[in-house]
Structure 1
Amino acid sequence: MSKLQHEEKTEMEGNTPNKLTSAEVGKLWATFMGNSMARCVLRYFQQNVDDADIRNVLNEALQLADRLTQTVKDIFTREGHPVPVGLTDDDVNLKAPRLYADEFYLHYLKYTGKAGISIYGIAVPLMSRQDIREFFTDCLKSTINLINDVNDLLDAKGLLVKPPYIPVPDKIDFIKKQRYLDGFFGDIRPLQSLEITHIYDNVQNNATSCAVLVGFCQAAKLDQVRNYFKRGKDIALKQYDILTKLLHKEDLPTHPLMNHLVTDSTVSPFSDKLMLTHKIDMFAMRVRTYGNALAFSARHDVSATFARLIMEVGNYVEDGANTMIDLGWMEQPPQAADRKSLTMG
């Protein structure tokens, strides 16, 4: 088959080599939206930081968000694709007083960086075009480097709270009875390392989320939005307690809350739109982290706990999306052709 015949065949199959696939468009769109929000948040943090080392890592994060946002914009422009609006300078007040302590910025970068790794990591194997795949590979590597720098700085400043330690086993063993899976009645085994890992990860996420929401509750302008944040704070705190108790039952330490790192300012540094978008996105990511935890939890009580938490978080995200739509703030992602309406004449 000649090159021309191959290209004609490819076109007929709807598989244009240089055209962006739905996966590429979707992940590029999500990357732009997330990093346009990160630019606003990080620029505000930069205006309210005293520690030079923390300022440096904030600069690293902001430069990354700027670069990723601009790259996606360039790709969409080159492809003739509409560039999303996302979050803009209108959504941040750089003159607002400090809402969070310097230490909190490091926990926040870790919290949002984990979400970025999840988005970019899933994107890489789905990208067909080499240039787009290389872009997301760079996104992933750069975000991993950022989190490594954050962890190193937390450790250097004595602020790194490590996951629990467990004993080194004497030997390799194999599971012999089905009661290994039990968790409600009878002889319940201790938590295994992967269960501890994902419980601890989500305790940490909820501790950070709760502090973010304390600040957002103080700063929100609309009662409707403030009440949504109050409900989110209650959910984060309740789920933090549920997961913490699983660790405490095993005499394992947990991650502390960080609400004390929020100041008493009520001047909003961010628009209600930005804050609402932020919490919907991060709670939606919680569904994924709970799903991962469920998949690695062999004990029935632990997996059932994560299944319940997913349902509660999912309902909260849906209510937030409805609020965004009511307020005219929900930007629509690119979607497939509506064949039904196209054939109605």
Structure 2
Amino acid sequence: MSNKYKMSSTELGALWMTYHKKTMILRILEYFIEKADDEEAKNLMSGLWEQLHPKIIEMESMFINEGAVPPKGFTKVDVNLEAPKLWENGFDIMFSRILKEISTGMYALHLTISYREDIIKLYKQLTEITENYYDKFHNIFLESLFFHVQTMSICQVQLILYMINST
């Protein structure tokens, strides 16, 4: 897409940060997908990866078209897929849900400091992906939470319910 205006420094900075965050999330998802025991969780995280990967390529094109060098970001050498799993079932979904919470706030902020149509469109698309997957991660998290409540102490259940109600 050709643009009438050059990217502003705030747009470039926000896009740079978004690129790093997205490449980091792809690496985290690759590790979670590799270690997932739950097929539903694995499919959900794979779907998110497939939605985000083209956005990385789109951002790289934006940098190049602007005459800027695309950031290196996080690459496959930054994660060891053979490293042992250090969590119990459900952590991957809970963590992914938290990442979507953070993304929601970041896109709202980045959208308000962007002026070019292509950048605004990118953040709107990322927001849509984020809201969609937040709902999916939230629902699967709640399903697994209520399944495991029977094995938790009263204090653990109260803490989790407090955390859910405060978000």
**Amino acid across the alignment from 1:79:** E
Cα distance in 2 for partners of 1:134, 1:126 equals: 13
* TM-score of the pair, normalised by structure 1: 0.41
Equivalent residue number for residue 123 of structure 2: 136
* TM-score of the pair, normalised by structure 2: 0.82
Aligned pairs for 1:279-318 (under 5 A) are none
SS at match of 1:148: helix
Q: In the alignment, does 2:45 pair up with 1:53?
A: no
Which digits, 9 at most, give the CA deviation of each residue in 1:274-304, with x for residues without a partner?
xxxxxxxxxxxxxxxxxxx9xxxxxxxxxxx
Larger relative helix fraction: 2
Cα distance in 1 for partners of 2:133, 2:77 equals: 27
Q: In the alignment, does 2:87 pair up with 1:97?
A: no
Gaps of 5+ in 1: 1-15, 161-247, 257-292, 294-345
Cα distance in 2 for partners of 1:91, 1:143 equals: 24
Partners of 2:24 and 2:74 within 8 A in 1: yes
Q: In the alignment, does 2:155 pair up with 1:255?
A: no
Report sequence identity in percent.
23
Runs of 4+ in 1 over 6 A off after TM superposition: none
Q: How many residues align structurally?
A: 152
SS at match of 1:157: helix
Partners of 1:73 and 1:83 within 8 A in 2: yes
Partners of 1:31 and 1:69 within 8 A in 2: no
Cα distance in 1 for partners of 2:69, 2:13 equals: 13
SS at match of 1:77: helix
SS at match of 2:19: helix
Partners of 1:54 and 1:102 within 8 A in 2: no
Cα distance in 2 for partners of 1:77, 1:89 equals: 22
Partners of 2:90 and 2:144 within 8 A in 1: no
**Amino acid across the alignment from 2:59:** V
Equivalent residue number for residue 7 of structure 1: none
Cα distance in 1 for partners of 2:145, 2:76 equals: 35
> Which structure's relative contact order is higher, taking Cα pairs within 8 Å and 6+ residues apart?
2
Deviation at residue 159 of structure 1 after TM alignment: 4.3
**Amino acid across the alignment from 1:31:** T
**Amino acid across the alignment from 2:142:** D
RMSD across aligned positions (CA)? 2.3
SS at match of 2:70: coil
Partners of 1:106 and 1:154 within 8 A in 2: yes
Distance 1:121 1:159, change over 3 A: farther
